[in-house]
Amino acid sequence: MSRDWDVARIKKFIAPKLGLQVKDISIILAGKSLADNLLLEECDLGHNSILNAVKLKVIKKDDAIPSNEKKSEGTPFHQDKPLCETLLDLQLTEEEQKLLHKSLGCSSPEYKQKKAHFYVYCESPCKSVQNGKLRVRCSLCKAGAFTVDRDPCCWDDVLRPEQVSGTCQMEGCDHSWAEFYFKCAHHPSQGEMDSTLPLYLVKSNFKQVQCLACMDISDPVLVFQCSSSHVICLECFQQYCMSRLNERRFVFNPNIGYTLPCPAGCENSLIDGTQHFKILGGEQYQRLLHFGAEEYVMSVGGVLCPQPGCGMGLLADPSCRRIQCTGGCEFVFCRDCLQGYHIDECQPNGDGNFQSMLTTTEYVVDPRRAAQAMWDADSRVTIRVTSKPCPKCRTPTERDGGCMHMICTRQQCGFHWCWVCQTEWTRECMGSHWFG
């Protein structure tokens, strides 16, 4: 097929292959049964795009649309064009729609350039912000041969389930709810299951609003959900996120996760779609998820394993002082002082003065950089990883084969303890793991 074919020609081409009459065939794309005079080039099709050719089901209109889904007066609906052509203004208010149509003629090249009001972050292969295509499928069988009863008129219709009804055209499926999803418009389609999350706060800057940080006019931009709808360009948004991420100043919200507010300090402006932080790139987004997991563990009373190179989040009984990194490095430590587990009282950490210097408000040092600048840091890490402290006197002890029964080599101590449990050696230790 060629892009200059119309739908009628496609039907004639495939009718013999399907064993159907031309009049019985319907070509479906993005929730619509396409009109015969519609050209493929008008459908915004990319490479490897899928058109669904089916025998259209005939359903009474009253049965097709549930009583609570009746098309409201004034809701736009274009049965002969796909959603990619009819939903240019989904993210805009009614006044913004009028402004866009007034500022740019519908047939002008500038208007056509502004048509893609949907943006996605394509993780593969583009790895960048791209224009997005809105698609629809049956929410039950996931088939793309699905026709909607009305166009979605707001983001809730697209993002929330069971908002727009329709008809699944697949034989044997009578489901009537649409599922909307997005594809990257930049690279060839990888099938109907190829999808990505929308960046619904990223919009085309047809209003020519300046960025609140650099004051440049960029396109596209991110619009915060604050009452003032502050605008920031994507480059400044990345810098804003990176500075907060490096300072670990993201906000933890139990309903949203690890997120950020409007940089202008507006109330109720937290970004509730954390997929927007994918703009930072894969490596930094993974850092964000890691920090977010740590914040969650700490917020519910958990503790992080202090062993170098581990840091696993652990949820243990709040009254339990002896913590074991189960499923991780198996290090056993004291909840109170985060040192190797010990029986007696916690002793002041020798690095206490240094840590207090790091957290003072008078002079701030990045702890990660400080850790790299310690003269004997490598030796400390090696000792901590390869040894365990005596539970009584805390003398670092290295096990070099043999059984799990340890005897402290310190002359004044001589404590008998278990390498596995890091407690006093008992008959239970002897019976369960004397030799491993």
Contact (Cβ atoms closer than 8 angstroms) between residue 414 and residue 397:
no
**Residues 205-234 as b or e (16 or more Cβ within 10 Å = b):** bbeebebbbeeeebebbbbbbbeeebbbbb
CA angle 43, 49, 54 (to 5 degrees): 85
- Among 310, 329, 337, 403, the active-site one is 403
**156: helix, strand or coil:** helix
Cβ-count burial of 284 within 10 angstroms (0-12 exposed, 13-18 middle, 19+ buried)?
A: middle
Please, which residues have CB within 8 angstroms of residue 41's CB and are 6 or more apart in sequence? Answer: 3, 4
Phi then psi for 119, rounded to 5 degrees? Answer: -130, 145
DSSP state at residue 183: E
Phi then psi for 194, rounded to 5 degrees? Answer: -75, 115
Give the total residue count for the chain.
436
Partners of 147 in the beta sheet? 167
From residue 30, give the alpha-carbon distance in Å to each of 15, 50, 58, 169.
21, 10, 19, 13
Q: Report which secondary-structure segment, H or E, holds 180.
A: strand 178-184
Q: Which of 413, 369, 412, 376 is nearest to 391 (CA)?
A: 413
End-to-end CA distance of the chain: 69
Phi then psi for 221, rounded to 5 degrees? Answer: -135, 165
Q: What are 71's two structure tokens?
A: 């098309």
Does the annotation count 403 as an active-site position? Answer: yes
**Residues 159-197 as b or e (16 or more Cβ within 10 Å = b):** eeeebbbbbbbbeebebbbbbbbbbbbbbebeebebbbb
Tell me the C-alpha distance between 111 and 97, whole Å: 12
Give the active site residues: 403
